Amino acid sequence: MSNFLKQLGFNQHFSTQADKYSAGLPYRVTEDFGRRFVVSGEAEGQLQTYDLTFTHKIKQAPIIGDWIIGLLTESGTVEFVELLERGSCFQRVAQEEYVQPLAANVDRLFIVTSCTAEFNMSRLERYLLLARANGIAPVIVLNKADLAHDKDGYYEQIAELGQEIPLCVLSTFDEAGVAQLKNMIPQGETCVFVGSSGVGKSSIVNALLGLDQQVTLAVSTKGARGSHTTTSRSLFVLPGYGVIIDTPGIRSVGVAATEENLNDTFEDIAILMTRCVFRNCRHEAEAGCALSQAVEAGHLSPRRLASYKKLQREAAYFDDRDQAKRQQKNEGKQRAARRISRERFEREPK
């Protein structure tokens, strides 16, 4: 497997599929304008970018991060042959029911927030659930540390998320912080930056690219900020590190998650829930509800419980549309319950 392709995120999952094609080579979608695409692949010992062309109707449109099989044409474009099966897909539920894929083959979700009024725990929980629901490892990035009057206050709140989620605190103009973030982007992995508009995603991507201006291989020819219209998404390679994808601000983040995803995201609540007296407890302050008791005793914030319930209602809505999924959900729930009672039952929530 070529080193250039590896840097682009090519791995066994894709090479096994690509080997089946006698004609054509693997390329990755590195710019996505919605209808027009730019792909990158290896040619003559380096990474090259090409416009992607289509000569026939296709079953499924590629998106940023996809691997495809393509044929180099005489006019210097790559002709689309086949979409390779995705390893993962970062997607959200947009406008009620439509599941919109945002980026393909993503390993890590960098959830960017800031030391400003934008900071919002329920939003972080929503993004964490989104990562879990998509099978992508989350990292929390707390940006604009320079604006923090009280950094400990932010740490305390983030601790409420209760899990060992990697955290990076930085300012985009602080080299040490940016270097620390860069170290959280392993070679071969693809990382997507998400978060509200204005938190500094594009600044971070630019800072990451700027650190190594000379050797940085900006697959996209423009800088992260410059290239962004509302519909375009670009992928960049950080040589020696991984691949990064900036996303324009996503207005609403609907999540189609399973009960297991929820339990993983709200482990403290999942543990407490096993102690509710009634198995069908609705956790609405009825007698014997362990969650309500925990809130009263100050062990669980009412905000977190409300956030959990809101996301659970959403998850249930999506699960109810599909019986087969519900079956899976129940299996997942049992698995999660077994694991939780094994690992964490003894530990009292803070």
Ligand X SMILES: Nc1nc2c(ncn2[C@@H]2O[C@H](COP(=O)(O)OP(=O)(O)O)[C@@H](O)[C@H]2O)c(=O)[nH]1
Residue 244 tokens read as 């990064």
Contact 139, 166 (CB under 8 A): yes
| 40 touches Mg ion by CB under 5 A | no
Which residues lie below 8 Å from residue 26, measured CB to CB, with a gap of 6+? 5, 10, 14, 15, 18, 41, 67, 68, 69, 70, 84
CB 291, min distance to Zn ion, A: 5
Q: Which of 103, 170, 276, 294 binds Zn ion (CB under 5 A)?
A: 276
CB 223, min distance to ligand X, A: 11
Q: Which of Mg ion, Zn ion, ligand X, none binds 144 (CB below 5-8 Å, type-dependent)? A: ligand X
CB 248, min distance to Mg ion, A: 6
Q: Which of 202, 232, 263, 307 binds Mg ion (CB under 5 A)?
A: 202
Q: Which residues pair with 92 in a beta bridge?
A: 100
Q: Which of Zn ion, Mg ion, ligand X, none binds 171 (CB below 5-8 Å, type-dependent)? A: ligand X
What are 23-26's contacts with CB under 8 Å, separation 24+?
23/71, 23/81, 24/69, 24/70, 24/71, 24/81, 24/82, 25/69, 25/70, 25/71, 25/72, 26/67, 26/68, 26/69, 26/70, 26/84
Residue 79 tokens read as 């002709």
Q: Which of 283, 311, 315, 319 binds Zn ion (CB under 5 A)?
A: 283
- Which residue number, 194 or 305, has a Cβ lying nearer to Mg ion? 194
> Helices 302-320 and 323-343: crossing angle, nearest 10°?
140
Site string for Zn ion, 234-273 (x = CB under 5 A): ----------------------------------------
Among 8-16, 159-167, 168-176, 199-207, the segment contacting Mg ion (CB under 5 A): 199-207
Q: Which of 140, 291, 300, 336 binds Zn ion (CB under 5 A)?
A: 291
| 305 touches Zn ion by CB under 5 A | no
Among 33-41, 80-88, 90-98, 195-203, the segment contacting Mg ion (CB under 5 A): 195-203
- What per-residue string of b and e applies to 76-100 under the rule 16 or more CB within 10 Å gives b? eebbbbbbbebbbbbbbbeeeeeee
Q: Which of 231, 269, 242 is nearest to 129 (CA)?
A: 269
- Which residue number, 246 or 314, has a Cβ lying nearer to ligand X? 246
CB 295, min distance to Zn ion, A: 10
Q: Which of Mg ion, ligand X, Zn ion, none binds 281 (CB below 5-8 Å, type-dependent)? A: Zn ion
| 309 touches Zn ion by CB under 5 A | no
- Which residue number, 168 or 205, has a Cβ lying nearer to Mg ion? 205
- Which residue number, 79 or 118, has a Cβ lying nearer to ligand X? 118
CB 204, min distance to ligand X, A: 7
Which residues lie below 8 Å from residue 53, measured CB to CB, with a gap of 6+? 73, 77, 78, 79, 80
Q: Is 159 exposed, middle or buried (0-12, 13-18, 19+ CB in 10 A)?
A: exposed
Residue with tokens 């998106």: 63
Helix ranges (H only) for the chain are: 3-7, 12-18, 121-133, 151-159, 175-182, 201-210, 259-265, 267-273, 290-296, 302-320, 323-343
What's the length of the chain?
A: 350
Note the residues at the interface with ligand X (CB under 6 A): 143-144, 146-147, 171-172, 195, 197-203, 249
CB 303, min distance to Zn ion, A: 17
- Which residue number, 201 or 283, has a Cβ lying nearer to ligand X? 201
Among 60-68, 122-130, 132-140, 291-299, the segment contacting Zn ion (CB under 5 A): 291-299
Residue with tokens 């000569």: 55
Q: Which of 281, 316, 337, 340 binds Zn ion (CB under 5 A)?
A: 281
Residue with tokens 């071969």: 188
Interaction site with Zn ion (CB under 5 A): 276, 281, 283, 289, 291
Interaction site with Mg ion (CB under 5 A): 201-202
